[in-house]
Chains A and B, each alone.
Chain A
Amino acid sequence: MVRVKQRYLLFSILYPSVPNGGPAIPQSMAFNQPSPSNLTRTSLAAIIRNSISYNFGDWGMGQAGSFVVKYFSGATSTGILRITRENYRILWAALTYIRELYGQPAVFKVVRVSGTIRKAELEAIKLAEETIRRVKREQKSMEANKSGRGVAAVFASGKASSAKKPQVATVEDEEDEMIVDIVDSSDDDDDEI
């Protein structure tokens, strides 16, 4: 029997607008901020379908309408989509053409296209870790700037060890939550058709 080949698209949603009124936060943290709470797997699928239909019409829906949202975490704004191998470019294009979510400007960034969901999961974990590291680094340099050490602190931020523990505990919690989510999502994984 011929095996149906699939592609898994790991994407992250970036929010280029900084939430106003709040305390100053590192820019990369604002970029990777949590998604609106009403953005779920089903509502996300509906938004993507809308985009496919708008950009590629009935033909596009026929080709790429059968994608599945395998995983989505609103906390990290990361998700994994599954689509047949021939049509992943249509889905990718439709994602790219999405410009806002619930009135908020948003950018879908496809981080990795993979043939197995496992590789996509590993990449998701790596992505989350990298984001946390970057936020921590920015936080350190922000604090250093506040304390008057200026540009030198930015360049030295890589080896700064005396800096206080940055206030990104919530992000670390997200990482834990995300790994658990991924394990859950791989349980009902049915890509081995």
Chain B
Amino acid sequence: MDVDGPSKPQRKLQPRSPEQRFTIRKPEWQYLHLRMTFDPPHPPDHTSPSYPPDLLTWKTHLSTALNQFLGISGTAIPIDFLHSDVSEVYLRIPREDAPRFMAGITGWGEDIEGRTVGFRVLKSAEFLMGIAGGEGRDLFG
């Protein structure tokens, strides 16, 4: 190995940027913020065994919608529920499945207990921060 090559001191003299940059081109997940819509809507402060929907209800309805639009291959999309809040939910799915997933659930509607139930995509992002907060200011106090 050539240790004392003439090029080595030269390379040392080259200015190096202290910062390193990289781009995540193909993230693994897509994060979604969904709302379950009811028509006619529930009155405020309404609670019943079926409202607000729990995570199992979410999973059932999402599976029904996906099964209708994409068949078995749609119900095979893995859904990770991250958080639920009244009739809204934060979840993540594999990024490649996101277009099919969103097309499947937004085109679905069904009469359940006298109300038409559907889904609305409130936010969709490749990173959790994209759907979780406003501008992320609260992160830094």
Contact = CB atoms under 8 A, between A and B. Distances in A.
Interface of A: 52-60
Given A57-B67, A57-B69, A57-B71, 16 more contacts: A55-B71, A55-B73, A56-B70, A56-B71, A57-B66, A57-B70, A57-B73, A57-B74, A58-B70, A59-B69, A59-B70, A59-B71, A59-B100, A59-B103, A59-B104, A60-B70
A59 B97 CA distance: 14
A52 B67 CA distance: 12
Closest 4 pairs between A and B when the two form their complex, measured CB to CB:
A57-B71, A57-B70, A56-B71, A55-B71
B72 interface: yes
A59 B74 CA distance: 10
A58 B68 contact: yes
B109 to A, nearest CB: 14
Contacts of B74: 57
Contacts, number: 32
Give the secondary structure class of B's interface: helix
A179 B72 CA distance: 38
A52 B70 CA distance: 10
Interface size class of B (residues with CB under 8 A): 10 to 19
A97 to B, nearest CB: 8
Interface string B71-112: 111100000000000000000000000001001100000000
Nearest to B65: A57
A34 to B, nearest CB: 30
Contacts of A52: 71
A185 to B, nearest CB: 30
B69 A54 contact: no
A59 B73 CA distance: 11
Nearest to B66: A57
A61 to B, nearest CB: 9
Nearest to B107: A58
A57 B68 CA distance: 5
B106 to A, nearest CB: 13
A94 to B, nearest CB: 9
B13 to A, nearest CB: 57
A50 to B, nearest CB: 11
